[in-house]
Structure 1
Amino acid sequence: MLAEPAASSRDAAETAALAKGGRTSFFGYVLRLAARFPFLFIAGRLYGAEALGRFAYATMVVELAAMLATLGLKRGLAEDLARRPDDQAGAVADALLVALLAGLLGAAVLVALPELLFPAARLHPLDRWFALIIPFIALADIALAGLAFHHDVAATVRARSIIEPWMLSIAALALAFTAWKGDGMLIAYVLSMLAAFLAALAPAVRRFGWPRGWRFDAARLWRLVRANGPLAGADLAEWGARRLDIFILGRFASAELIGIYYVAQQIASLPQRLKSSFDPILGPVLTRNLAAGNLVKVAAHVRQISFWVASVQLAAVLSLGIVGQAAMGLFGPAFASGVVVLAVLLAVELLAAQAAVAEGALIYVARGRNLTWSVIGLVVQAGLTLWLVPLDGPLGGAVGAAAALAAAALLQSVAKSRLLAARLGHPVSGWRWSLLLAALPAFGAGMLVLRTPEPIQLTIGFFAILGTFGFVMWRFGFKGADRLLLGRGLKQLEADAAGLPLAPILPGHQAS
């Protein structure tokens, strides 16, 4: 009889931990977005769409190289730390070393071939050396992943949501009035990433300390790289799904069009980031239940997070999509034409929600199959993008690139949720009819908002749509544990859940 209340308390603690981690990290992303909008405004008004497009393409390639340099350890480091509880400093040192070596290799390639960063553009004097920032980005990601293992989400918020974006905005503004304006945004980006690197490394050193008795062991490092190969592949596929559109568009379209597409993508990325805000705490909770063989609880947690993500995403899609033209016009008259692209990209985020959450569990129970579906989705997206982008149409194929991404997102959402449900033996979908119930009055409010001037749309109107959806959802859709996402109660449960260990995965749950 005593076991049931204990299990119930533990389940509530896990749900509270998921809610708290999601709130903290999502709040951090809101802060990051608040700082990112000034940068987009500065870039659009002071530098122009063409310069912004050049910046967007170069930073996309650099971030791809940095993501590859992490070798899947942004998510895989947690397992290595769990296997080496008495030598966590050594585990972090191993991860940092392999990321450093891979980052230096990627930087060397791009320094030798700068045209990969700046296609069809005249190189500026500093452009060749821009790729040297790659190792610093990769090392910061590894350090933050190690801190996330100990539920230190605040470090990520501080580095990625406050220091990095505000340094970018302030430096870009200052450099716009200097002789370095031609490379102003790129220099600002380098400064922001260096600042984020220092902000990530300092708390990691305090948390783990310097490794004692550590020595270089090529065989151990190779085993680490090999074990995280599937995760690295999944990271690449996920990155490709989010950046392949700009990569292909950059080969067919002007820098100005890429700049417009980039701004639409940045606005639309708000809903997508909600899923990643659960990652630091989702892994420990899922692995703990998988190790105990409690597949019912794993499915329940996936359903809960899927519902939370879908709720916030749908609210963002409605509020941002309806006032999209006014929002895009903030960054300059040329950007207002991208409203259709923004609408399609917002739909993408809604379609991709279930796949994104399902993957958080699939990387533990079906890594190989998850990677296979990621690659299939990437191939489908690439084929559709290559077909649609060169066609004559609105915005020179930009809508085609977004539509191809939407089709691939829908395919992966269906496939991955079905795969996870089959592996767990329980439903994992977070869809509820209350989402539609809340969307209808919010859409009606949006139609009234569109009758007002643009300044009203972006202020009162935006919050009226968001508030209408939120009120109906809170009143009729959120029940019981659902309200933990925005609730302030259950402090003791949250404190208990903060200490949840990351249990090692049982061998049977690593099958592909």
Structure 2
Amino acid sequence: MEVGRKTGDDGSSDYLSILSGTSQNIVGIVIAAIATLGANVIMGRVLGPSGFGVVTLVTQAAFVASFATRAGMDMAVLRNVAVEVGVSRWDNIRTPVARAAVIAVGISTLVGFVSFVAAAAVRNLFSIHDELGRWAVEFAALGLPFLALANVWLSATRGLKIMRYTLYFFWAGQPLGWVVLMVIGFRWSETTWMGAATYSLSWAIASAAAYWAWKRESHTWPVTPMARGALGRLVRFAGPRAPAALFSQLLFWTDLFVLTRFASESEIGVYSAALRGGQMIVLFITSVSLMFSPFVADLHNRGEIRRLDGLFKTLTRWTVAATIPVLLLLAIEPGSALKVFGPDFAGGQTALLILLAGQVVNIATGSVGFILIMVGRTGWDLVVYAGSLIMNLGIAFWLCPRYGMEGAAIANAATFATSTWARLMLVRHFVGIQPYDRNYLKLIVPTLVAAVVMFAVHRVTAGSWAVDLVATGSLGALAYGLTYLWLGLTEAERRGIAGLRARLAAR
């Protein structure tokens, strides 16, 4: 059994653990991005824009619904495990995780059954034609219990500050599994229901792997009954988190659901691709936030606020720095990026640019949402998300009839910017930390150099969208990386790299 590194007395072990987890997650994000892109390309080319839109709707509806059906138990066990490990109470861990898994799978199974029975009503809600979406909703609903179990057990392993299982089974395993299963399934039936069925099956496999990982790490710890009131505290923490988690995911997709009431199936498919493209840049911050969460719970529980503030600043700057090349590529090459899904998707480039504007604010504010949750402010988290959802719905219903997918994108971007800024203010008020310092200025020159290189390469290679996209992205990223290593590193980071090189050389 291997437990992640415990928070050190001098804070250096925090950075080592986070650096290790970051390097693992970078690999996972690349695999996830490629696999997700592969799944989308396969669907787009096999099913066309209309079929692509249907599978995107039903699978994302299942994914979003799972944030509510697991009843907040994933974040509850993550926080509970991190806190108990931080004070070495090993006997208080396994039973709460088991209870949380039972609650999550029970609620998810009930919701999945209702969705299966009411599939016709769901298709009508999303304006999916019965012939095009036959059995797609039903198969997507079958995945809900497995989504819940996989996330609860993986959250428990992250509470141990072990990130590799999330890398193996969440970031890499499930998307790759979906691609493989889809390729096999489409050889038998090129239908939307096959896309949904293979999605659910990929989560069933991921949940089995997640259970194995948790048992592997925890099987030697004693199993004791929960202390009096412990289950109640777990439920009280998770209670506001369940609707808040649902709202947080709906913010990514509510404008798409509203657009289905006013746009053609083809336009819905194009906007789905634009949403996918815009969300590519949040994969890194999501992964970092998952890694950062147990440190927040542990350090806050032990009153180490200054150390938490330092970690918050460093992690947010790393997140911004790592995202800049992808953001620049999508901003300079929106049409080429969307053509990856097929030639019919290039019309979504204006919507993609609008979506990117909202995600810039999301990335620049760092892991504020996870911090608010891990310090126990789940009620305020719910308030922010509820208000944001209302805002998103209002703007989307106002603008979608007038401007179509561009109106939906405006609703998405405005809501994300407002929501993340509100949580940043709450974190500063309740915890007394914020993510900014003068070291962000070191990112300016690498960003400008990368932008100039990308624009220059784009002008030279504009004839072929594929060559243009690859050349612009690779050469721009290379220029950014070299300039960042030269001018973007802080003195502490240079010392850390030098120390790491010395240790590696001594082996």
- Return the TM-score normalized by structure 2: 0.87
Map Cα deviations across residues 15-59 of structure 1 (whole Å, 9 max, x no partner).
222222222123212111112222222111111110010011111
In the TM superposition, residue 292 of structure 1 has moved relative to its aligned partner by 3.4
Partner residue in 2 for 1:446:
454
Partner residue in 2 for 1:382:
393
Partner residue in 2 for 1:420:
427
How far, CA to CA, are the matches of 1:315 and 1:77 in structure 2? 35
Corresponding residue to 1:297 among 296, 299, 307: 307
Corresponding residue to 2:488 among 477, 486, 495: 477
Superposition map of 1:11-410 within 5 A: 11-81=11-81, 82-83=83-84, 85-118=90-123, 119-120=126-127, 121-122=129-130, 123-125=133-135, 127-179=137-189, 181-209=191-219, 221=231, 223-363=233-373, 364=375, 366-391=377-402, 393=403, 397-410=404-417
Map Cα deviations across residues 346-400 of structure 1 (whole Å, 9 max, x no partner).
2222111244512222221643333322322222222111111111x3xxx1121
| Identity across matched positions, percent | 22
Contact 1:22 1:274 survives alignment (8 Å): no
- Structure 1, 110-119 or 475-484: larger mean CA deviation: 475-484
Contact 1:307 1:430 survives alignment (8 Å): no
Q: Match of 1:47, SS?
A: helix
How far, CA to CA, are the matches of 1:466 and 1:485 in structure 2? 23
Superposition map of 1:432-471 within 5 A: 432-451=440-459, 452=461, 453=463, 454-471=465-482
In the TM superposition, residue 488 of structure 1 has moved relative to its aligned partner by 8.9
| Residue identity matched to 1:348 | G
| Residue identity matched to 1:88 | I
Contact 2:95 2:226 survives alignment (8 Å): no
Distance 1:298 1:179, change over 3 A: closer
Distance 1:214 1:253, change over 3 A: farther
How far, CA to CA, are the matches of 1:85 and 1:134 in structure 2? 30
In the TM superposition, residue 300 of structure 1 has moved relative to its aligned partner by 1.7
How far, CA to CA, are the matches of 1:10 and 1:229 in structure 2? 35
How far, CA to CA, are the matches of 1:220 and 1:286 in structure 2? 21
Partner residue in 1 for 2:4:
none
How far, CA to CA, are the matches of 2:498 and 2:36 in structure 1? 27
Map Cα deviations across residues 221-257 of structure 1 (whole Å, 9 max, x no partner).
5553222123223322311221212221223223322
How far, CA to CA, are the matches of 1:483 and 1:246 in structure 2? 44
| Residue identity matched to 1:57 | L
How far, CA to CA, are the matches of 1:352 and 1:492 in structure 2? 36
Q: Match of 1:278, SS?
A: helix
Partner residue in 2 for 1:489:
500
In the TM superposition, residue 328 of structure 1 has moved relative to its aligned partner by 1.2
Q: Match of 1:286, SS?
A: helix
Distance 1:132 1:22, change over 3 A: same
Map Cα deviations across residues 196-224 of structure 1 (whole Å, 9 max, x no partner).
12221222222233997778999865553
Structure 1 unaligned blocks of 5 or more: 1-6, 494-512
How far, CA to CA, are the matches of 1:400 and 1:242 in structure 2? 14
- Structure 1, 374-383 or 53-62: larger mean CA deviation: 374-383
| Residue identity matched to 2:100 | A
Contact 2:79 2:294 survives alignment (8 Å): no
Map Cα deviations across residues 269-289 of structure 1 (whole Å, 9 max, x no partner).
232121222234423322333
Distance 1:50 1:10, change over 3 A: same
- Structure 1, 465-474 or 91-100: larger mean CA deviation: 465-474
| Residue identity matched to 2:382 | L
In the TM superposition, residue 421 of structure 1 has moved relative to its aligned partner by 2.3
In the TM superposition, residue 128 of structure 1 has moved relative to its aligned partner by 3.1
How far, CA to CA, are the matches of 2:47 and 2:302 in structure 1? 55
Contact 2:388 2:418 survives alignment (8 Å): yes
In the TM superposition, residue 98 of structure 1 has moved relative to its aligned partner by 0.2
RMSD: 3.0
| Residue identity matched to 1:401 | A
State the aligned residue count: 483
How far, CA to CA, are the matches of 1:93 and 1:137 in structure 2? 16
Structure with larger RCO (C-alpha < 8 A, sep 6+): 1
How far, CA to CA, are the matches of 2:232 and 2:9 in structure 1? 41
Contact 1:323 1:462 survives alignment (8 Å): no
How far, CA to CA, are the matches of 1:27 and 1:365 in structure 2? 31
Contact 1:446 1:461 survives alignment (8 Å): yes
- Structure 1, 96-105 or 419-428: larger mean CA deviation: 419-428
